[in-house]
């Protein structure tokens, strides 16, 4: 091997390693300062004593975030009483929690997907709730943010055909706190899926996206929206034909409207003929439970929402 090339390659590897280490150090500097006990649990995987944690009996509405990095972890709606001595949840915010085999060789540890902080363990098959899952979490690993004091979140509404596929992509996106599928734009209240499919209510299948503006933006979500459906198709999406499957951005304020108009112009400049409609957001009606996170439950993937890169 040429010595000069070898030394050059070695220098590149050393430089990359140094850069990666610098990035990791900078990231850690952004984390919250932990007390000695918080470090013992979050960094060194200790466990707080049962029935002593701050959130064992908490039932207020809000979200639970990582104590170390503030990443949203759990919704209060998924918390239940298991009488085990620690806060219990039967679901996590999509993408927020990572599962890894525990060092004891038997259990499954759960950590914050963002910073790797130890949360607790997850158990299945106990039958506490229909989801048959229990996230057993140390209170000290989390901070509870009441609903009326939640971190500054924003909401966007996107319709791009079957809402299963729309939700599939948004729920996996960094900065998205929660997603809910439902119906918008019709002339009846509390519509059912059957009524919407009849084409008589005027509703459109829509995904409500709650996101953290500090971690993503409406613009980023808008790009993903266009990159995951055929926005040129009129009157449907793929094989799903009907008014309820139209491509629509329901804007909540003038800033969202202006951004949506901007991207319609960008798409036209790129040679596309977007059929996406822009409408002011009316009331959002959540869909039935079995529609929520459909592909996640079925371990499937969308049949007509396929990602393709459009924007730089």
* Tens digit of each residue's pLDDT (9 = 90 or more) over 227-279: 999 999 998 998 999 999 999 999 999 999 999 999 999 999 999 999 999 99
Average pLDDT for 201-222? 92
Quickly list H helices, the chain: 3-29, 36-42, 163-170, 193-197, 218-227, 254-269, 294-298
d(CA 286, CA 112): 28
- Provide the whole-model pTM: 0.59
To 10 degrees, what angle do helices 218-227 and 163-170 make?
130
3-state secondary structure of 32: coil
pLDDT at 150 over 70: no
d(CA 246, CA 12): 50
Q: Are the CB atoms for 68 and 112 separated by under 8 Å?
A: yes
pLDDT tens string 91-147: 998 778 999 999 888 899 999 988 999 999 999 999 999 999 999 999 999 999 887
d(CA 289, CA 180): 10
Kindly state the helix (H) or strand (E) to which residue 247 belongs, with its residue range. strand 247-251
pLDDT tens string 16-56: 444 344 334 334 446 888 999 999 999 999 999 999 999 99
State how beta strands 88-89 and 97-101 pair: unpaired
Does 197 qualify as catalytic in the annotation?
A: no
Does 115 qualify as catalytic in the annotation?
A: no
d(CA 306, CA 285): 26
Q: Which residues contact 64 (CB under 8 A, 6 or more apart)?
A: 55, 72, 73, 74, 75, 76, 79, 87, 89, 137, 142, 143, 144, 145
pLDDT score for 97: 93
d(CA 166, CA 306): 10
Could you tell me where the beta strands, DSSP code E, fall in 113-164? 118-124, 133-137, 142-146, 154-160
Domains in the chain, CATH or no CATH each: 36-148 (2.170.150.20), 152-298 (3.30.1060.10)
Identify the CA nearest to 97 among candidates 105, 86, 108, 106: 108
Q: Which of the following is catalytic: 66, 112, 115, 136?
A: 136
């Amino acid at each position: 091997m040429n010595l000069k090339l070898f030394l050059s390659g070695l220098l590149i590897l050393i430089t990359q390693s140094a850069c990666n280490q610098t990035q990791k150090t900078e990231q850690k500097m952004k984390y919250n300062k932990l007390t000695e006990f918080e470090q013992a649990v979050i960094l060194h995987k200790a466990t707080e004593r049962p029935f002593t944690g701050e959130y064992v009996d908490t039932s207020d509405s809000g979200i639970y975030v990582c104590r170390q990095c503030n990443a949203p972890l759990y919704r209060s709606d998924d918390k239940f009483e298991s009488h085990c001595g620690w806060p219990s949840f039967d679901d996590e915010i999509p993408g927020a929690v990572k599962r890894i085999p525990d060092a004891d060789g038997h259990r499954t540890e759960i950590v914050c997907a963002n910073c790797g902080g130890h949360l607790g363990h997850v158990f299945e098959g106990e039958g506490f709730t229909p989801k048959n899952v229990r996230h057993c979490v140390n209170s000290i690993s989390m901070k509870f943010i009441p609903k009326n004091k939640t971190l500054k979140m924003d909401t966007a509404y996107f319709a791009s055909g079957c809402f299963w596929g729309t939700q599939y992509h948004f729920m996996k996106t960094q900065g998205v706190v929660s997603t809910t599928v439902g119906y918008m734009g019709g002339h009846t209240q509390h519509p059912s899926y059957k009524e919407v499919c009849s084409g008589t209510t005027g509703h459109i299948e829509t995904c409500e996206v709650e996101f953290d503006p500090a971690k993503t933006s409406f613009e980023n979500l808008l790009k993903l929206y266009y990159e995951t459906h055929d926005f040129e198709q009129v009157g449907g999406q793929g094989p799903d034909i009907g008014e309820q499957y139209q491509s629509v951005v329901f804007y909540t304020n003038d800033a969202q409207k202006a951004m949506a108009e901007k991207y319609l112009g960008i798409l036209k400049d790129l040679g596309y003929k977007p059929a996406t409609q822009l409408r002011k957001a009316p009331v959002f009606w959540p869909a039935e439970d079995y529609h929520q996170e459909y592909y996640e439950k079925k371990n499937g993937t969308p049949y007509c929402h396929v990602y393709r890169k459009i924007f730089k």
